[in-house]
Amino acid sequence: MSKTNLTRRGVLKSGAVAGAGVALPTIFTAQSAAAYTNEPTGGSVTLGFNVPQTGPYADEGADELRAYELAVEHLNGGGDGGMMNTFSSKALKGNGILGKKVEYVTGDTQTKSDAARASAKSMIEKDGAVMITGGSSSGVAIAVQGLCQEAGVIFMAGLTHSNDTTGKDKKANGFRHFFNGYMSGAALAPVLKGLYGDDRKAYHLTADYTWGWTQQESIAAATEALGWETVNNVLTPLAATDFSSYIAPVLNSGADVLVLNHYGGNMVNSLTNAVQFGLREKIVNNKDFEIVVPLFSRLMARGAGANIKNIVGSTNWHWSLQDEGSQAFVRSFGTKYGFPPSQAAHTCYVQTLLYADACERAGTFNPCGVAEALEGFEFDGMGNGKTLYRAEDHQCFKDVLVVKGKENPTSEFDLLEVVEVTPASQVTYSPDHPMFAGGQLGSCNPGA
């Protein structure tokens, strides 16, 4: 029999020393390995597409998702390359991003801020998403943008039109390609003056939340500068479905223009109700009564049916544009899905390419590097002419389209016609404009 010197204490001591020895490299390298949140380490990089898959904007969300899938296909070298062929930057090579294959996860915003934050959080923490993008509501965009700032990932906003997104609620990690309420007002005002004159009395119905408030403020300011008078502004509950009791007072208000600061189902219902009450046939102050819908969407226009005919509004992009970039995107999207893309799909597709391009130019996925590459970046070939991602507020400045409901549509997609392409210079404002005041961009957060 041989005698061993093994004791319980000895085993514990040796175990502790050995354990510390094994753990040592990771203890010291854990911090330095992840220089930023979700740094990709394998052969792929994960993007998080946070879109409304349920709820009232589910159709718009589905179109956003189609655009994201197309963008991923193009980034990974599939399909015909779409706008990558027309994009002025040639950093993208069709081999993923920085040589890593692009993968994606999706979340459902439900068009609710809390649900959108929860799904974005899950994609960042569980799926390792290095960038979050998407959405069809300003409330959601602002909420998710704040979360991404805290988490240290880039947020490339989807459809969000409130001034606040790149105004008082702007964040260093957040970027918006879509236009905003101020730009709608600045683009629409001269067209409205040309069409309806400078002596008009406008009655506003406004959705009672961040987007409605800032849009109303923007449109009222732009039209008042023309000489129009704002007779009244009535806030309507977001959950309202029948607007007849809000429309009826318009009839006797002395107003000769009704501005519907509504979007989605609200817009469809309020416009339908306004047409039902014969507003478009009315003559007030010896002028034809007019209706204006400042933010148009083709998907929403389809819901409004014939009521949309000849109604003027603004939009970020439209599939009928004839520039090379737009045509390339419409061709790719239309061939894959069988119908033209919406403006929501366009902005989401472009945002994904812009993010990928920024990573390539920066040579990193680090949000601070990506942000630096996007700030002040000027590009072309993405469907809106020459565009600037302004460094001061992370807002894109580009041409804005003024559109009108088509009198004789030739197909179910042919609902809007472009009345004017308002140049970017006309819709540009200073970073300290009062409508955008109150917030700080802050500094970029890489997380980790």
For other proteins, the binding residue among 137, 272, 314, 422 (CB under 8 A) is 272
Residue 254 interacting with other proteins (CB under 8 A): no
For other proteins, the binding residue among 249, 363, 434, 438 (CB under 8 A) is 249
Nearer to other proteins, 236 or 364 (CB): 236
For other proteins, the binding residue among 102, 130, 259, 304 (CB under 8 A) is 304
Nearer to other proteins, 224 or 414 (CB): 414
How far apart (Å, rounded) are the C-alpha atoms in residues 441 and 47?
A: 23
**Dihedral over Cα of 111, 113, 115, 117: its sign:** positive
Spell out the residues 6+ positions from residue 275 whose beta carbon is closer than 8 angstroms to its own. Answer: 291, 307
For other proteins, the binding residue among 40, 303, 431, 439 (CB under 8 A) is 303
Spell out the residues 6+ positions from residue 163 whose beta carbon is closer than 8 angstroms to its own. Answer: 180, 181, 182, 214, 215, 217, 218, 435, 436
CA distances from 120 to 31, 105, 125, 344 (A): 24, 10, 9, 19
Nearer to other proteins, 51 or 154 (CB): 51
Nearer to other proteins, 310 or 426 (CB): 310
For other proteins, the binding residue among 50, 210, 320, 422 (CB under 8 A) is 320
Nearer to other proteins, 14 or 54 (CB): 54
SS3 162: coil
Residue 311 interacting with other proteins (CB under 8 A): no
Q: How far is the CB of 63 from other proteins (least distance, A)?
A: 11
Query: Residue 38's closest CA among 144, 172, 153, 155?
Result: 153
Residue 153 interacting with other proteins (CB under 8 A): no
Q: Are 149 and 445 in contact (CB under 8 A)?
A: yes
Nearer to other proteins, 58 or 388 (CB): 58
Residue 326 interacting with other proteins (CB under 8 A): no
What would the DSSP string read from start to end of 285-335? TTEE-EEEEEE--HHHHHHHGGGGBT-EEEES--TT--SHHHHHHHHHHHH
Nearer to other proteins, 234 or 421 (CB): 234
Binding region for other proteins (CB under 8 A) out of 31-39, 159-167, 298-306, 309-317: 298-306
- Write the interaction track for other proteins spanning residues 330-359; mark x where CB under 8 A is met and - where it is not: xx--xx---xx-------------------
How far apart (Å, rounded) are the C-alpha atoms in residues 138 and 176?
A: 11
For other proteins, the binding residue among 299, 321, 353, 374 (CB under 8 A) is 299
Residue 248 interacting with other proteins (CB under 8 A): yes
Binding region for other proteins (CB under 8 A) out of 2-10, 162-170, 175-183, 268-276: 268-276
How far apart (Å, rounded) are the C-alpha atoms in residues 343 and 352?
A: 14
Residues near other proteins (CB under 8 A), total: 50
Q: Where are the beta strands (DSSP E) in 17-125?
A: 44-51, 101-108
Q: How far is the CB of 265 from other proteins (least distance, A)?
A: 6
Binding region for other proteins (CB under 8 A) out of 4-12, 125-133, 156-164, 273-281: 273-281
How far apart (Å, rounded) are the C-alpha atoms in residues 265 and 319?
A: 22
Q: Are 317 and 384 in contact (CB under 8 A)?
A: yes
Q: Are 381 and 87 in contact (CB under 8 A)?
A: yes
Residue 244 interacting with other proteins (CB under 8 A): yes
For other proteins, the binding residue among 14, 29, 88, 245 (CB under 8 A) is 245
Residue 409 interacting with other proteins (CB under 8 A): no
Residue 273 interacting with other proteins (CB under 8 A): yes
Query: Residue 149's closest CA among 110, 168, 123, 175?
Result: 175
How far apart (Å, rounded) are the C-alpha atoms in residues 267 and 365?
A: 39
Q: Which residues bind other proteins (CB under 8 A)?
A: 54-59, 232, 234-235, 237, 239, 241-242, 244-246, 248-249, 251-253, 265, 268-269, 272-273, 276-278, 281, 299-300, 302-307, 319-320, 330-331, 334-335, 339-340, 410-411, 413-414
